[in-house]
Amino acid sequence: MHGTGVPLVTPFDDSGRIDHDRLETVADWLESQGVDFLVPCGSSGEAPLLTPDERVSVVETVAETTDLPVLAGTGQEGFEPTLETTERAAKAGADAALVVTPSYYGSGDQALESYYRDLADESPVPVFLYSVPKFTDHALAPETAASLAAHDNVAGIKDSSGSLESLQRLVSRTADEEFSVLVGSGSVYAAGLDVGADGGVLAMANVAPARASEIWHRHRDGRADTAREQNAALVELNRAVTAEYGVPGIKAALEMRGQPAGELRRPLQPLPNDERRHLETVLEAALESTLAR
């Protein structure tokens, strides 16, 4: 996994069921916009609100729809449910598994390292670590990631800490391994690439996929300055669909882009009208920004 990945949304119909037709449409649109891989059942996909069977069905639909690599979110709170979900996702067509750090019991890095190592031993697909302290209240230490990087079936990490220091330490400590460091915060995407990250998994890429992807392509082509300019033009949009409005913001913005992603799953609620107006203004400004040349 390298380049720009999208933690794509999960569309629901009016009755609360997964809208697989709409999911196919969104996946097709994202692929047409030049992104490099898709990530179903992540935080932006309302994964904690899906049943295990629903997760598998989402992965299957995405894998059957796209020619891009599929990095499926399979992490649960316990080892056995995570392994089962990972095995089922692999059978459904996932190329790799993105596994969030379990958080309910506040496990430390020693326990988490053992958890990931055992999971990688048994997983039929490569495992990507997922550190997202905003939701789990725990940042996986770069030293722990580096230790796990030596495992043949641990392929990388998505670091959503938003910390450049963390990204740089991850890159430096895993440089000797076949291990992908993926930026999980769109605001620091270009900066993360500057310090050696291999790509990113970005919520904002749901709504501005071409512009998010352009950051990676310009950086790859040796135009880091224009990559940073492109990233700067998307910072407000990234903040709006993450820190400010979250998944309701992503789905509202997709509707504004002519790619409606259906209803939210409770307890999430649609944006009030004043927040929708603000989001629309931010989205228009981002889309009017000139793609880096």
- pLDDT single digits (tens) 276-289: 999 999 999 999 97
pLDDT in tens, 165-222: 999 999 999 998 999 999 999 999 999 999 999 999 999 999 999 999 999 999 999 9
The structural domains of the chain, ordered by start, are 3-210 (3.20.20.70)
DSSP 8-state secondary structure symbol assigned to residue 65: H
| 158: annotated active-site residue | yes
91 catalytic per annotation: no
Burial-class residue 196 by CB neighbours within 10 Å (0-12, 13-18, 19+).
middle
How far CA 168 is from CA of 3, 130, 172, 197, 215, in Å, comes to: 17, 16, 6, 8, 18
Half-sphere exposure of residue 247: CA atoms within 13 angstroms, side-chain side: 24
Tens of pLDDT, residues 128-147: 999 999 999 999 999 999 99
**With contact defined as beta carbons under 8 Å apart, do 85 and 74 qualify?**
yes
pLDDT band, residue 57 (cuts 50/70/90): very high
**Residue 93 token pair:** 């067509």
The single residue of 130, 189, 245, 251 carrying the catalytic annotation is: 130
Q: How far apart are CA 188 and CA 64, in angstroms?
A: 32
Q: Binding site annotation covers 201?
A: yes
Contact by Cβ (8 Å): 68, 38: yes
What is residue 292's predicted lDDT score, i.e. its pLDDT?
A: 44
Q: For residue range 61-111, what is the model confidence (pLDDT) as tens digits?
A: 999 999 999 999 999 999 999 999 999 999 999 999 999 999 999 999 999
With a cut of 50, say whether residue 119 has pLDDT above it. Answer: yes
Q: Is the pLDDT of residue 293 over 60?
A: no
Angle between helices 142-149 and 164-173 (to 10 degrees): 30
Catalytic residue among 116, 158, 189, 245: 158
